[in-house]
Amino acid sequence: MVLTNKQKEELHKAILDYLRTNGLNSAADALQAEAQLEELDPKKTGLLEKKWTSVIRLQRKVLDLETKNQQLQEEVGSKPQRNKGAGEELPRPPEAYTLTGHRDNITSVKFHPVFSIIASASQDATIKIWDFETGEFERTLKGHTDFVQCIDFDHTGNNIVSCSADLTIKIWDFTTFECVKTLHGHDHNISTVAFLPSGDYIASGSRDKTIKIWEVQTGYCTKTLRGHEEWVRDLIISPDGSTIASCGHDKTVRLWDIAKGECTHVMRDHSHYIECLAFSPATLPSLDAPDGKTYKGKAGAAANFLASGSRDKTIKIWETSTGICVATLIGHDNWVQGVTWHPNGKYLLSVSDDKSIKIWDIAQGRAVKTINDAHSHFVSCVDFNPRTPTLATGGVDDTIKIWNCR
């Protein structure tokens, strides 16, 4: 047999649910009696349709990949290969897809860690799911009653978390697309949320000036970190899960020891509100800092450097072990709204209210590529998918754009 007994039972239940849902009660009664089934859990309704659409999507992708593979084989056979370093792919215009459907500004975009899926959050109070390889819309998650400010997947991709101006955090089961928990505790607009690498905890930051740590299983707030003097705009978790970096309207970047619940560094060098943060990958080139020192990335380190983008139009690079600002990147003409590292650590990518995407060579300390008018309005968020590689940006023009890197 191809299926195990448990898999057969689940399949029978899914078919039973499909028959009931579509009014085929005689067939459903016969199947239920013959297979000795109990009625399906209401929370698992529609499973057969979901699996069916997934299979169709995967079949289409297989056919597309086979076609691309054939084309690449023909190109390799007819053209000389160009010498290009591995992991050097950068986004190039024009965009591969423009995803439309949201009715208000895009606030956050996040790639799924496993599948060719991207999630987007918007001020229209919804989260939308897209297939970024085909540009097709998949579904909408509804539940928030105000702006959805930020979203994040856990490392498995089985759960997605969202936070909102409605003062709630919601955890969604990404297999059933149901909201499984709603967390309450912040006293003001919740701006940012992120899973810890283990997936067992969530961190959130709010206009109430606090950062909270939540246990996923129970939904309880286990810690509240206080120190920021104004709105916490963004926070991120170090790759090893030991440190939170946060920033906000008090013009500071702060590093927190999660286990101790203590602030370990307060970095002050920006002259305006700080909007976004990104921890570096494990390997980085050397940085020649303004103080004359050379800072070298440490092989295998969890996060040697931290990038911060600000309304002062600059991006700053900080050494996390000392809290020293080792570089300032100047080039944007308006607020910097999002930063993300290229997986090779050589480049940093940023988006801004000047409507551009900039690619910075960290060792040189300058922008080596700019995509002007990437959106028709302010560019508000960015994410990089290292598996493809692909870049996604979201804008105040209510669109998400997918950029292939080559």
- Surface-to-core class of residue 101, CB atoms within 10 Å of its CB (0-12 exposed, 13-18 middle, 19+ buried): middle
Contacts of 102 (CB under 8 A, 6+ apart): 120, 122, 124, 126, 128, 398, 399, 400
| CA 281, 216, 167, 207 torsion-angle sign | negative
What is the reported pLDDT for 55? Answer: 77
Instruction: For Cα atoms 127, 54, 9, give the angle at the middle one, nearest 5 degrees.
Output: 115
Q: What top-level class would CATH report for the domain 97-404?
A: mainly beta
What is the reported pLDDT for 324? Answer: 94
What is the reported pLDDT for 74? Answer: 63
Tokens 């030991």 label which residue? 242
Enter the tokens of residue 257.
């020891």
What is the reported pLDDT for 88? Answer: 83
Enter the tokens of residue 316.
């700053």
CATH architecture of 1-79: Up-down Bundle (1.20)
Euclidean distance between CA atoms 227 and 327, whole angstroms: 25
Three state DSSP letters for 249-311? CCCEEEEEECCCCEEEEEEECCCCCEEEEEECCCCCCCEECCCCCEECCCCCCCCCEEEEEEC
pTM: 0.79
Portions of the chain given CATH number 1.20.960.30: 1-79
Portions of the chain given CATH number 2.130.10.10: 97-404
Cβ proximity of 209 and 247 under 8 Å: no
Euclidean distance between CA atoms 344 and 77, whole angstroms: 29
| CA 144, 117, 180, 191 torsion-angle sign | negative
**Mean pLDDT split into 10-residue runs, the chain, 406 residues:** 68 80 84 78 70 76 75 57 60 96 98 96 98 95 98 96 98 95 98 96 98 97 98 96 97 97 97 97 61 55 82 97 95 98 94 98 94 98 93 98 95
Euclidean distance between CA atoms 175 and 47, whole angstroms: 9
Euclidean distance between CA atoms 49 and 306, whole angstroms: 44
Task: Give the largest Cα separation in the chain, rounded.
Answer: 81
Cβ proximity of 406 and 87 under 8 Å: no
What is the reported pLDDT for 48? Answer: 75
Nearest alpha carbon to residue 253 among 302, 192, 202, 320: 320
Euclidean distance between CA atoms 49 and 395, whole angstroms: 33
